[in-house]
């Protein structure tokens, strides 16, 4: 999980467009308040490899089929190695914690 990112020294960047930019700077970690719930451990193990919790909770409340599609998209389009069983349990977690009551 690389959180570091490099950034220019601001003052130098503004003064000199050819400033040598060679420092690693960390992108801050933001503690998004994710809801705890059944199978949260699987979300932690499978989803955090690619994105923060913010990426989940800022999708808004969604239907179960929406979450099912999202999990499938992570596997089909983004090639995340999530087992079939974990996919369905993660969908359960998402529908329960971030669902809108729709199937």
Interacting residues toward another protein by CB under 8 A? 1-8, 10, 13-14, 17-22, 24-25, 27-30, 32, 49-52, 54-55, 58-63, 65-66, 70, 77-81, 100-103
Q: Which of 103, 93, 97 is nearest to 60 (CA)?
A: 97
- The contacts of residue 27 (CB under 8 Å, 6+ apart) are 3, 4, 5
CB 93: neighbour CB atoms within 10 A? 23
Between residues 17 and 36, which has the closer beta carbon with respect to another protein? 17
Long-range contacts of 80-85 (CB under 8 A, 24+ apart): 80/46, 80/49, 80/50, 82/46
Minimum distance of another protein from residue 73's CB (angstroms) = 8
Nearer to another protein, 36 or 103 (CB): 103
CB of residue 6 to another protein, shortest distance in Å:
5
State in angstroms the smallest separation of the CB of 86 from another protein.
15
- Smallest gap from residue 38 Cβ to another protein (A): 17
């Amino acid at each position: 999980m690389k959180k570091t990112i490099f950034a220019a020294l601001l003052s130098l960047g503004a003064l000199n467009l050819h400033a040598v930019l060679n420092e690693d700077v960390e992108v801050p970690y933001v503690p998004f308040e994710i809801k705890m719930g059944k199978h949260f451990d699987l979300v932690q193990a499978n989803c955090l490899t690619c994105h923060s919790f913010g990426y989940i909770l800022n999708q808004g409340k969604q239907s179960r089929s929406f979450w099912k599609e999202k999990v499938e998209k992570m596997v089909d389009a983004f090639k995340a190695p999530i087992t079939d069983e974990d996919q369905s349990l993660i969908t359960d977690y998402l529908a329960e914690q971030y669902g809108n009551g729709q199937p």
